[in-house]
């Protein structure tokens, strides 16, 4: 009996902010790898979730939502998007049932893609059957993609079928990464993402987008992991808001982050959080490099 050939490849998940790209990747990989909150632009780096099987390896990259760059930070985020389109074997363009059709820039790029493009209409659990049919017809006519699939990433509706379609398009290739790897990111990256998620959940307006988290220390001992993290803000006034009255807000963020980290690492966590002002870090190339935004 002939051996099943091994398949491996890169699947890029692209689309506008807030359409459910991170939720989809987590549904496909089965781990909470990407930040999921209801604020736009929460994913700033490419994160690779790696799904392994006996005869396949699927490497997902979850890219920042496609936006017109306003800061050097946004330019760098868009750089991650371009790179992930270039090395993709399959592209998943995620849109949702509420989508306003103004992604001309993305559509132009995807129409010239030389690999299969699957348009995913997400959040179908919030729509009527007719709405879903209308959207499917719209995207088929607009882009003429390889396939259009309706899904609900949150409820994992149709994600099994999506996986089967991805397996169909995945090229024959040996594994790119060791089979026991879940992601290409180091542990301290997930620590900073967990803290950033809590900042997004606890602060309003521009505060979350003016914050960056840097892990100064990550020490794993037998019984405990010791983490020292710096939250960078752009202005002194923001530092006061992040810390809060008598340090209450920072304490709340720290407690929530520690609980999630203990679940993620299955180990006791000691977390030391502090806030520093780094003026205009979003436009400072040197600081952006330090925060990992330059490839």
- Residues annotated in the binding site for GTP, as ranges? 15-22, 62-66, 122-125
Token pair for 33: 């790898």
Integer Cα distance of 95 and 107 in angstroms? 11
Look-up of token digits 């720290």:
254
Whether the Cβ atoms of residue 125 and residue 152 lie closer than 8 Å to each other: yes
String of DSSP letters for 81-108: HHHHHHT-SEEEEEEETT--S--HHHHH
| Cβ contacts of 185 within 8 Å, gap of 6 or more | 33, 45, 47, 48
Token pair for 183: 């992601």
Whether the Cβ atoms of residue 9 and residue 89 lie closer than 8 Å to each other: yes
SS3 category, 48: strand
Closest CA to 249 of 196, 198, 192: 198
Integer Cα distance of 24 and 95 in angstroms? 11
User: 15 — alpha (psi -120 to 50), left (phi > 0) or beta?
Assistant: left
Q: What angle do CA 44, 212, 292 make, to 5 degrees?
A: 55
Integer Cα distance of 285 and 76 in angstroms? 10
Integer Cα distance of 233 and 216 in angstroms? 16
| Cβ contacts of 159 within 8 Å, gap of 6 or more | 24, 27, 28, 151, 153
Which residues make up each annotated binding site? 15-22, 62-66, 122-125
- Please compute Rg for the chain using Cα positions: 20
């Amino acid at each position: 009996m002939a051996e099943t050939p091994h398949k491996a490849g890169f699947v890029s998940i692209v689309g506008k902010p807030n359409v459910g790209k991170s939720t989809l990747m987590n549904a496909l990989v089965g781990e909470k790898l990407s930040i999921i909150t209801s604020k736009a632009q929460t994913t700033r780096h490419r994160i690779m979730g790696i799904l392994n099987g006996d005869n396949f390896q699927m490497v997902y990259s979850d890219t920042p939502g496609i936006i017109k760059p306003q800061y050097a930070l946004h330019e760098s985020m868009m750089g991650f998007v371009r790179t992930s389109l270039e090395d993709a074997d399959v592209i998943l363009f995620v849109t949702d049932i509420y989508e306003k059709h103004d992604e001309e820039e993305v559509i132009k790029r995807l129409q010239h893609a030389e690999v299969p493009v699957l348009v995913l209409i997400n959040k179908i659990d919030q729509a009527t059957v007719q709405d879903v049919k209308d959207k499917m017809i719209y995207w088929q006519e607009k882009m003429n993609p390889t396939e259009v699939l309706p899904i609900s990433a949150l409820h994992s509706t149709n994600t099994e079928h999506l996986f089967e379609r991805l397996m169909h398009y995945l090229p024959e290739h040996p594994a790119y990464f060791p089979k026991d790897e879940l992601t290409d990111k180091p542990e301290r990256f997930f620590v900073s993402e967990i803290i950033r998620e809590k900042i997004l959940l606890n602060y309003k307006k521009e505060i979350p987008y003016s914050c960056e988290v840097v892990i100064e220390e990550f020490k794993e001992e037998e019984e405990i992991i010791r983490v020292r993290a710096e939250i960078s803000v752009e202005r002194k006034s923001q530092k006061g808001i992040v810390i809060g009255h008598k340090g209450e807000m920072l304490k709340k963020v720290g407690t929530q982050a520690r609980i999630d980290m203990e679940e993620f690492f299955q180990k006791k966590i000691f977390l030391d959080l502090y806030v520093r002002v780094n003026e205009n870090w979003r436009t400072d190339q040197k600081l952006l490099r330090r925060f990992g935004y330059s490839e």
